[in-house]
Structure 1
Amino acid sequence: MTRGTVLQGLQTDPYYFERNGLYIGQGTTTMSRAGLFRASEGIAVDMNDRVFRLPSFYDVLEGEIFLQNLPSIVAAHALDPQKGERILDMCAAPGGKTTAIAILMKDEGELVAIDRSHNKAQVIQKLAFEMSLTCITTYKLDALKAIRQRNETDDINTNQSSNSLRFDDEKASSSTTEGFNSDKTCKDNVSNAIEDGGTYVSKADIRKAMRRMRNGPGRNQCLGGRVENSKGFYPDSFDRVLLDAPCSALGLRPRLFVGEETIDSLKRHATYQRRMFDQAVKLVRPGGVIVYSTCTINPGENEAVVRYALNTYKFLSLASQNPRIGGPGLVGSCEFPDGRTEEWLRPGEENFVQRFDPSSSLDTIGFFIAKFSVGSKDV
């Protein structure tokens, strides 16, 4: 995709006719493909024609509101965060649930938000800054590597600023300006280098500099700066953990195309989610709470993960949720052609979880929420 490209389906696309009934509009890109991923602000696509003439909420009550789906708000409330607690939000981007939790705990305590993507971690911290929330600390960290061994040096607590993402508006703005001066042309840079006795600048370097000027600042010059890797956290170090796990996202809508998901890919999602849940169990203290949520309707990633958790960790138990808006979970099991049986919930457990169905009268995205109470781990 290049600047000026019109976003319109082509009949040469093998999925054209499948998507043909899902037309959402036409637009023209205003920046290059690299710029789309690098720029944190601005207009990426100028819509020429669209189905719904809805007003944009961009910059409307900035710092005051954050639009998100109803089940996401319910998940934050189900966690029941309290003032002064230490809470972990795993896979926290883009930060909607993170900021909702911070507000529920009155911005008092410590809310740690992690994401393995540097750019996504920046989005979380920028949102927290805009909403004036000071209890949120954001780290670039893979949730599967969140456990830290006791014999490691204790630099994460004594020197948080070196490993966490802190928003410094003045510093970030100055670094961005210094890194990219659009008034200077590449030719000026070449001539100055030669006059000052500098090294010769090749045509490749000139082209590279021109791409940087066209695409905008790299992530080191973005607001918030670069995020260093974290060494993780000690076991039993959080009062509550929210695991909004990566999933097949089959509950999101509108879904323009879901053909990339297969039975095998759904199984891989479930395996990944169980590994993440293992990390969550290790990080939460006895007497704490874990909330597991997804935005999919696939029971293999929902009820089956709950069954895995209850069978694997005997000190876990399902807890009631407030508010309760979604429907009950699925009871039973599923037998696959390869002879494998996938267990779901057992009778009596279905009302402890919340399942949101896109086809229900609630008119929400597909979503799933399960809340666990953590007992003594000595059992």
Structure 2
Amino acid sequence: MPIFHKISLRPEVENYLKQSFMNEEVVSASSKQEAERRFEALLIHLAHPPSFTTVRVNTHLASVEHVRGLLLNELEKQFSGSSVPVLQHPALPDVLLIPVTGPRRNIEKQQCEVIVGAQCGNAVLRGAHVYVPGIVSASKFMKAGDVISVYSDIKGKCKKGAKEFDGTKVFLGNGVSELSRKDIFNGIPDLKGIGIRMTEPIYLSPSFDNVLPSYLFLQNLPSAVVAHVLNPQPGEKILDLCAAPGGKTTHIAALMQDQGEVIALDKILNKVEKLKQNASLLGLHSIRAFCFDATKAVKLDMIDGTEGTPPFLPESFDRILLDAPCSGMGQRPNMACTWTLKEVTSYQPLQRKLLNVAVQLLKPGGVLVYSTCTVTLAENEEQVAWALKTFPCLQLQPQEPQIGGEGMVGAGLSPEQLKQLQRFDPSVVPLQDMDTDCLGDAKREDMIWLANKDCIGFFIAKFLKCKSTEEKVSRK
């Protein structure tokens, strides 16, 4: 049984998603009842965390086995000597999997309460402590050192600084307050440290705050698949069009053994700075990051400008990753999304602009990987169908490794084309209750299977550019 209700969405957004997941082709392939059951299961899964925390080892600085040993020692400290398995993924050799235990249903709720915002609540479910900016409300007499119960205000109705809240709230577990109520709401302005140290969370996930920061990168499993599908080679010139905060960028550089050039673009300056910090922390020198609007990344004339900086001449890159801005409807856990239908559907035109740029910048014979962390048909399979129709030079390619399921019907793609896509859909597996006893009894292959299935919602397509798009160049 799920411990939370399904993700809270605006009615028009839920109806929009339902139309995709119950389109005519889906219903005829199974049944209306089965399609509806799968859709409801998806909404419930989205409100819960994945069954595993996934970390990627920075193989540029250390071996996977060495880092795994360091991580086992760290987890033993975090879990007070309890043994927690750390599995190396068989198809993703630089990925380690740590099971998430829970939900724990016997935690005693306390009289003293703290209410946090929905985003903070999502982070707590994945192992984070409660930081002061996430606290919305605290009980009247809360003091530092008090054991308190933490709840998430999933509807966004609690007023900042309130002393009690009777609206819709979801229990996240218990913790110890580092500060008093007065410190939080009337104390030092812009306080950003830990406000509540979680001691009995509903879901027990390891914390990765400053844990082996040069060796590990916290990354969802499908996100770690992407760079392997791109398959960058040492010495190549690679473009990551929408790169921040740099998880996939740094993965690409590590797979290239930091040999070659990885150009990373993002239009938000502080995100680019964070990307540069991550690259430096991981000891990677092949990455060059620019604050630049990727929709304008093609140089429109041949006049010499600043060489090596955006915009770039057409057909300049061996491989391109377009991890596109998207509605993010596959992220987990996500107990509530307040987005309007207009916001959810606003990404398709931007994604098409970026695909157009990517095709122009890719060399003939080059590889383009398109990915999103959403589950909508419009941002995934429909975009693939549009790209194949719009750019005859593109051919859909099989992916390696193939861990996700095939694409969803309803966008006019053939069965063969759907098999070449990867759609990660957590609704294909029942929600799991995981405790230390079942971990001890579980077979390794069963745990890997569960990690592959019970992850975030995600989508990957891989294209080969089979001929030049530069007509003038091809005529010469």
TM-score (norm 1): 0.69
Specify whether residues 34 and 131 from structure 1 end up closer, same or farther in structure 2 by C-alpha distance, changes over 3 A only.
Answer: farther
1:373 aligns with 2:464: yes
| Cα offset, 1:20, TM superposition | 2.2
1:360 aligns with 2:428: yes
List aligned pairs for 1:143-292, cutoff 5 A: 143-157=294-308, 231-262=310-341, 264-292=342-370
User: Is the partner of 1:299 in helix, strand or coil?
Assistant: coil
**CA–CA distance in structure 2, aligned partners of residues 142 and 240 of structure 1:** 19
- The residue identity in structure 1 corresponding to 2:276 is Q
Specify whether residues 156 and 327 from structure 1 end up closer, same or farther in structure 2 by C-alpha distance, changes over 3 A only.
Answer: same
1:328 aligns with 2:403: no
**CA–CA distance in structure 2, aligned partners of residues 96 and 299 of structure 1:** 25
**CA–CA distance in structure 2, aligned partners of residues 17 and 3 of structure 1:** 21
- The residue identity in structure 1 corresponding to 2:414 is R
Asked if structure 1 preserves the Cα contact closer than 8 Å seen for 2:132 and 2:194, the reply is no
Specify whether residues 46 and 358 from structure 1 end up closer, same or farther in structure 2 by C-alpha distance, changes over 3 A only.
Answer: same
- The residue identity in structure 2 corresponding to 1:94 is P
1:349 corresponds to which of 403, 417, 436:
417
**CA–CA distance in structure 1, aligned partners of residues 218 and 228 of structure 2:** 16
Asked if structure 1 preserves the Cα contact closer than 8 Å seen for 2:302 and 2:313, the reply is no
1:318 aligns with 2:396: yes
1:307 aligns with 2:385: yes
User: Is the partner of 1:248 in helix, strand or coil?
Assistant: coil
2:287 corresponds to which of 130, 136, 140:
136
| Corresponding residue for residue 175 of structure 1 | none
**CA–CA distance in structure 2, aligned partners of residues 98 and 11 of structure 1:** 33
Deviations 1:218-246 (A, max 9, x none): xxxxxxxxxxxx64111110000000001
**CA–CA distance in structure 2, aligned partners of residues 13 and 125 of structure 1:** 34
1:82 aligns with 2:82: no
- The residue identity in structure 2 corresponding to 1:106 is Q
Specify whether residues 17 and 69 from structure 1 end up closer, same or farther in structure 2 by C-alpha distance, changes over 3 A only.
Answer: farther
| Cα offset, 1:72, TM superposition | 0.7
Number of residue pairs matched by the alignment: 290
**CA–CA distance in structure 2, aligned partners of residues 155 and 92 of structure 1:** 21
| Cα offset, 1:272, TM superposition | 1.2
User: Is the partner of 1:251 in helix, strand or coil?
Assistant: coil
- The residue identity in structure 1 corresponding to 2:270 is N
**CA–CA distance in structure 1, aligned partners of residues 287 and 134 of structure 2:** 39
| Corresponding residue for residue 55 of structure 2 | none
1:115 aligns with 2:266: yes
**CA–CA distance in structure 1, aligned partners of residues 154 and 228 of structure 2:** 46
| Corresponding residue for residue 218 of structure 1 | none
| Cα offset, 1:4, TM superposition | 8.2
- The residue identity in structure 2 corresponding to 1:327 is G
Asked if structure 2 preserves the Cα contact closer than 8 Å seen for 1:241 and 1:280, the reply is yes
**CA–CA distance in structure 2, aligned partners of residues 109 and 288 of structure 1:** 15
Specify whether residues 4 and 305 from structure 1 end up closer, same or farther in structure 2 by C-alpha distance, changes over 3 A only.
Answer: closer
Asked if structure 2 preserves the Cα contact closer than 8 Å seen for 1:290 and 1:373, the reply is yes
Question: Which is further off, 70-79 or 58-67?
Answer: 58-67
Structure with higher RCO (Cα < 8 A, 6+ apart): 2
| Corresponding residue for residue 217 of structure 1 | none
Deviations 1:290-337 (A, max 9, x none): 0000000001000000001000001101001100000000123xxxxx
Asked if structure 2 preserves the Cα contact closer than 8 Å seen for 1:19 and 1:256, the reply is no
Specify whether residues 99 and 12 from structure 1 end up closer, same or farther in structure 2 by C-alpha distance, changes over 3 A only.
Answer: closer
User: Is the partner of 2:427 in helix, strand or coil?
Assistant: coil
**CA–CA distance in structure 1, aligned partners of residues 380 and 155 of structure 2:** 37
| Cα offset, 1:348, TM superposition | 1.7
| Corresponding residue for residue 21 of structure 1 | 170
1:295 aligns with 2:444: no
RMSD, aligned CA: 3.1
| Cα offset, 1:23, TM superposition | 4.1
| Cα offset, 1:62, TM superposition | 1.8
Asked if structure 1 preserves the Cα contact closer than 8 Å seen for 2:154 and 2:170, the reply is no
